[in-house]
């Protein structure tokens, strides 16, 4: 059995959510699938995911989250109830082969807070590889959208947040009406 997320597993995890939330999450399968495809030929053992509240890419990963609750349908062996902006993280150097954070980096505080850079330095310390996805060049149509921090994230901002590290692979996907930029790093 594959450790990687499948569409069937994705749908199962979301089945206990409200209809409105399921519809919103269905649009996310496209970039989840892109990450799964990136990982098909990658060797890894221990995995840490940040923000895997609804679904994780690797079914036996350790999860660190920022608030919220873990879903009822998953047994999560190692949970770190730790805010990613609080450094250092409670993990040993290179404890993980792979770190995954999909569509959560923009939630680590204001753009100029320095939290993104501190957290990425921790990613490089605790893992050998990382995959991160970002909202990419979204345009805020309403003031409330701009305040959520998803709008106007471009290559320059992503580069600042990731300490100008050069990704091994990168991909822009548009699974719905919003683009996502996926970066795969090897440290």
Cβ(157)–Cβ(138) below 8 Å: no
Q: Which domain holds residue 31?
A: 7-186
The answer to whether residues 182 and 173 touch, using CB atoms and an 8 Å cutoff, is: yes
The CATH number that applies at residue 86 is 3.40.50.150
Torsion over CA of 124, 62, 92 and 94, rounded to 10 degrees?
A: -40
Q: What is the pLDDT of residues 28-78, one digit of tens each?
A: 888 999 999 999 999 999 999 998 766 789 988 998 876 544 544 455 556
- The total number of structural domains that make up the chain: 1
Residues 6+ positions from 156 with CB-CB distance below 8 Å: none
- The number of angstroms, rounded, from the C-alpha of 131 to the middle of its chain's C-alpha atoms is 7
How distant is the alpha carbon of residue 104 from its chain centre? 5
In a domain, 2, yes or no: no
Report pTM: 0.88
Q: Could you report the per-residue pLDDT of 119-163, keeping only the tens digit for each?
A: 999 999 999 999 999 999 987 776 555 555 677 899 999 999 999
| End-to-end Cα, the chain, rounded Å | 28
Residue 1: inside a domain, yes or no? no
């Amino acid at each position: 059995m594959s450790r990687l997320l499948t569409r069937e597993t994705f749908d199962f995890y979301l089945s206990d959510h409200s209809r409105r939330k399921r519809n919103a999450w269905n649009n996310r399968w496209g970039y989840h699938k892109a990450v799964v495809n990136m990982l098909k030929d990658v060797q890894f053992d221990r995995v840490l995911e940040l923000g895997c509240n609804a679904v994780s890419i690797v079914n036996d990963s350790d999860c660190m989250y920022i608030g919220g609750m873990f879903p009822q349908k998953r047994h999560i062996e190692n949970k770190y109830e730790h805010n990613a902006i609080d450094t250092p993280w409670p993990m040993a150097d290179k404890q993980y082969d792979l770190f995954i954070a999909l569509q959560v980096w923009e939630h680590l505080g204001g753009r100029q807070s320095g939290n993104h850079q501190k957290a990425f330095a921790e990613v490089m310390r605790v893992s050998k590889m990382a995959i991160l996805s970002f909202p990419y060049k979204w345009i805020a149509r309403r003031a409330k959208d701009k305040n959520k921090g998803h709008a106007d994230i471009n290559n320059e901002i992503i580069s600042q947040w990731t300490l100008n590290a050069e990704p091994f692979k990168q991909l822009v996907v548009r699974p719905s009406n919003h683009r996502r930029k996926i970066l795969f790093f090897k440290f």
